[in-house]
Amino acid sequence: MRESLKPGIRYEHRFIVPSSKTVPALYPESDEFMAMPEVFATGFLVGFLEWACIKAIKPHLDWPQEQTVGTHIDVSHEAATPPGLEVTASVVLIAVEGRKLVFDVEAHDGIDLISRGRHERFIINKEKFDARLDAKKNTI
């Protein structure tokens, strides 16, 4: 990680919600999800917040050798967002504790605040991570 990776890094990320990121699309194998309203799914919202955090810190890592993985998420989902609206994630890196990174996150859909909370990521060495993953796959 570079010396520039310090608390205070801010980033905004925008995305227009397509139908493919709504609740029925989250698990099309699930009859229950298929019957639910076509709104931005919490599962995809979490991924969107992670995406914003990754983009915020990518210039401060030795990418692609260094990457990050999500290790904790604690966010609300406060308002429904239909497809076609643009969502904006605003993230702030608030702590760097060794390889652990802590972010304040929130998202807005132009009408409502739809999410707020905290997200933690951990810096990994991609080659070592992949080697451990391959070893785990070999136990199957």
pLDDT at 85 over 90: yes
Residue 136 has a CB neighbour count (10 Å cut-off) of 9
Confidence category of residue 37, pLDDT binned at 50, 70, 90: very high
Calculated CA dihedral for residues 67, 70, 87, 9, nearest 10 degrees = -60
Token representation of residue 57? 């810190």
pLDDT of residue 33: 95
Q: Where are the beta strands (DSSP E) in the chain?
A: 10-16, 66-75, 86-97, 100-108, 113-125
- Give residue-wise pLDDT tens across range 51-81: 999 999 999 999 999 999 999 999 999 999 9
Catalytic residue among 22, 50, 68, 106: 50
- Give residue-wise pLDDT tens across range 118-136: 999 999 999 999 999 999 9
Longest dimension (CA), the chain: 49
pLDDT at 116 over 90: yes
Write down the residue that tokens 């999410």 correspond to.
115
pLDDT at 1 over 90: no
Catalytic residue among 13, 60, 77, 108: 77
68 included as an active-site residue? no
106 included as an active-site residue? no
Q: Please tell me the pTM assigned to this model.
A: 0.95
Of 88, 102, 18, nearest in space to 49 by CA: 88
Question: Which residues, other chains included, contact 68 with Cβ-Cβ below 8 Å and sequence gap of 6+?
Answer: 53, 54, 57, 61, 101, 121, 122, 123, 124
81 included as an active-site residue? no
CB 39 within 8 A of CB 81: yes
| Cross-strand bridge partners of residue 69 | 122
pLDDT at 140 over 90: no
Confidence category of residue 102, pLDDT binned at 50, 70, 90: very high
Confidence category of residue 86, pLDDT binned at 50, 70, 90: very high
C-alpha span between 82 and 38 (Å, rounded): 7
CA–CA distances in Å: residue 17 to residues 22, 97, 140: 8, 33, 37
For each of the domains in the chain, give its residue range(s) and CATH number, in order of start: 10-137 (3.10.129.10)
